[in-house]
Structure 1
Amino acid sequence: MAPKRTTASASREATPSSSSTTTIPTTPSRTVVSKGSQSPAQIAAGIWENYQDKTPQRTKLVDVFLAFLVVVGVLQFVYCVVAGNYPFNAFLSGFSATVGQFVLTASLRMQTNMENKADFVAVSHERAFADYVFGSLILHFFCVNFIN
């Protein structure tokens, strides 16, 4: 393989023998970190620090509620497996209420996140919350009626 030309030697060869000189702009060198140089723990710590620094308090509160809904759904499923599912309608109603509430809350998080404001121009925070409350009422009405 032939050796690579440097910018200085390339500019000398490209310039005519006249006394005019041309300057080739160079970009400053940047340090490139390879993907394999960080451990998964360092990557997770960086993501956590970024989340703590840049996420608004309101969004963190919604995220805590989402985590709570995941824990409740897992507990319901484990209870159904361990203790049995005698009133199966009750299990289905409770589990679908948890999953439905998670979906509604994730939608609320997407609509109220400032980074997604370009996608939801016509939706204000108040309207998003009103839609969330209305959807939650309808969801729980159906779940209560499904229990019998």
Structure 2
Amino acid sequence: MDRRIDLIAVPSALGAPDGGVAGGPEALRKAGLLTAVHRCGRAAEWTCYLPPLPGGERWDGLTRLCGRLAGLVAESLAAGAQPLVVGGDHAIAAGTWRGVATASGGAIGLLWIDAHLDAHTRDDSPTDNPHGMPLALLLGEGDERLAGNLLA
């Protein structure tokens, strides 16, 4: 039997240079993402809407958001579901994969396919935009609030 899909909306642009990407989850909801998943024969529901918490500086906000997201992803997996995280910018990958690693009890394997490497750190990024850093963070490099070597 196919696992239920938990759609987790994370309308964040904390890692991006502009806020437009925060509209991604709502645009996909309005476009019928849930209906499309159902048409594929899968049970699914929007289980969480996780916006960034107001206040604080960008990196602190991203740290809080990714921590909350990691918990939701781990809970979804522990319940036997398959989480589908819909962002926002891709800095949220740090929280998504941390949740997967937590649920699996250790390091994970990950095949990262992207048009960009996304392995910058704050030391070598020309923009200091966190959306260019999630792979480095997963490898334990970069901002210590988010970094953690989770890959086997």
Q: TM-score range by the shorter chain?
A: 0.3 to 0.5
Structure number having the greater strand percentage = 2
Structure number with higher relative contact order (C-alpha < 8 Å, ≥ 6 residues apart): 2
TM-score when scaled to structure 2? 0.33
Highest Rg: 1 or 2?
A: 1
Report which of the two has the higher share of helix. Answer: 1
